[in-house]
Amino acid sequence: MGSMKIYGTETTAPNYSSNSIGTPKWSGLKHYEFTPELIEGLHSFITYEARLQGHNDSNQNRIGENAIFFHVDFLDGWPQKLWSNKYQDGVSEQQAKVLKYR
Protein backbone atom coordinates (compact mmCIF):
# COMPACT_ATOMS: atom_id res chain seq x y z
CA MET A 1 0.00 0.00 0.00
CA GLY A 2 1.41 3.38 -0.96
CA SER A 3 0.54 6.84 0.23
CA MET A 4 1.50 10.40 -0.57
CA LYS A 5 1.66 13.07 2.14
CA ILE A 6 2.49 16.73 1.73
CA TYR A 7 2.28 18.67 4.97
CA GLY A 8 -0.07 21.61 5.14
CA THR A 9 0.25 25.02 6.68
CA GLU A 10 -1.55 26.85 9.45
CA THR A 11 -4.31 27.67 6.93
CA THR A 12 -4.23 24.65 4.60
CA ALA A 13 -4.86 20.96 5.23
CA PRO A 14 -2.17 18.50 4.20
CA ASN A 15 -2.45 16.83 0.81
CA TYR A 16 -2.99 13.13 1.30
CA SER A 17 -3.67 10.23 -1.02
CA SER A 18 -3.34 6.48 -0.60
CA ASN A 19 -4.07 3.34 -2.55
CA SER A 20 -6.52 2.21 0.13
CA ILE A 21 -8.72 5.32 0.56
CA GLY A 22 -7.86 7.53 -2.39
CA THR A 23 -7.82 11.28 -1.78
CA PRO A 24 -10.07 12.52 1.03
CA LYS A 25 -12.38 15.46 0.26
CA TRP A 26 -10.57 17.63 2.82
CA SER A 27 -7.11 17.07 1.32
CA GLY A 28 -5.41 20.38 0.52
CA LEU A 29 -8.38 22.57 1.48
CA LYS A 30 -8.12 25.96 3.14
CA HIS A 31 -9.40 26.21 6.71
CA TYR A 32 -12.40 28.33 5.67
CA GLU A 33 -13.56 25.62 3.25
CA PHE A 34 -14.20 23.12 6.04
CA THR A 35 -17.83 22.21 6.62
CA PRO A 36 -19.16 20.11 9.50
CA GLU A 37 -19.19 17.11 7.12
CA LEU A 38 -15.52 17.64 6.20
CA ILE A 39 -14.57 18.09 9.86
CA GLU A 40 -16.29 14.81 10.67
CA GLY A 41 -14.43 13.09 7.83
CA LEU A 42 -11.13 14.57 8.99
CA HIS A 43 -11.79 13.40 12.54
CA SER A 44 -12.55 9.86 11.33
CA PHE A 45 -9.44 9.84 9.15
CA ILE A 46 -7.20 10.95 12.02
CA THR A 47 -8.70 8.43 14.42
CA TYR A 48 -7.94 5.56 12.06
CA GLU A 49 -4.80 6.65 10.20
CA ALA A 50 -2.82 8.10 13.12
CA ARG A 51 -3.32 4.93 15.16
CA LEU A 52 -2.23 2.85 12.16
CA GLN A 53 0.84 5.02 11.58
CA GLY A 54 1.80 4.78 15.26
CA HIS A 55 1.41 1.01 15.22
CA ASN A 56 3.42 0.64 12.03
CA ASP A 57 6.16 3.02 13.18
CA SER A 58 6.52 1.12 16.45
CA ASN A 59 6.56 -2.21 14.63
CA GLN A 60 9.31 -0.94 12.29
CA ASN A 61 11.34 0.64 15.13
CA ARG A 62 10.87 4.17 13.78
CA ILE A 63 8.71 5.79 16.46
CA GLY A 64 8.20 9.45 15.77
CA GLU A 65 8.66 9.30 12.01
CA ASN A 66 4.96 10.01 11.37
CA ALA A 67 4.10 11.70 14.67
CA ILE A 68 3.40 15.07 13.04
CA PHE A 69 0.94 15.39 10.19
CA PHE A 70 -0.77 18.79 10.64
CA HIS A 71 0.56 22.27 11.30
CA VAL A 72 0.06 22.91 15.02
CA ASP A 73 -2.15 25.96 14.31
CA PHE A 74 -4.34 24.41 11.60
CA LEU A 75 -8.02 24.56 12.68
CA ASP A 76 -7.00 25.86 16.11
CA GLY A 77 -4.67 22.90 16.62
CA TRP A 78 -7.20 20.14 17.26
CA PRO A 79 -6.20 17.98 14.25
CA GLN A 80 -2.56 17.69 15.34
CA LYS A 81 -3.51 17.17 18.99
CA LEU A 82 -5.86 14.35 18.01
CA TRP A 83 -3.25 12.94 15.60
CA SER A 84 -0.63 12.93 18.38
CA ASN A 85 -2.96 11.17 20.81
CA LYS A 86 -4.07 8.51 18.31
CA TYR A 87 -0.52 8.02 17.04
CA GLN A 88 0.63 7.35 20.60
CA ASP A 89 -2.31 4.97 21.09
CA GLY A 90 -1.07 2.98 18.09
CA VAL A 91 2.49 2.91 19.43
CA SER A 92 1.28 1.78 22.86
CA GLU A 93 -1.00 -0.90 21.44
CA GLN A 94 1.77 -2.36 19.29
CA GLN A 95 4.24 -2.36 22.18
CA ALA A 96 1.69 -4.01 24.49
CA LYS A 97 1.22 -6.80 21.95
CA VAL A 98 4.97 -7.37 21.78
CA LEU A 99 5.25 -7.55 25.58
CA LYS A 100 2.29 -9.92 25.78
CA TYR A 101 3.98 -12.46 23.53
CA ARG A 102 7.43 -12.36 25.11
The pTM (predicted TM-score) of the whole model is 0.91
Q: How far, in Å, CA of 95 to CA of 89, rounded?
A: 10
Q: In tens digits, what is the pLDDT along the chain, a chain of 102 residues?
A: 578 889 999 999 999 999 988 999 999 999 999 999 999 999 999 999 999 999 999 999 999 999 999 999 999 999 999 999 999 999 999 999 777 666
The sign of the CA dihedral 62, 85, 43, 15 is negative
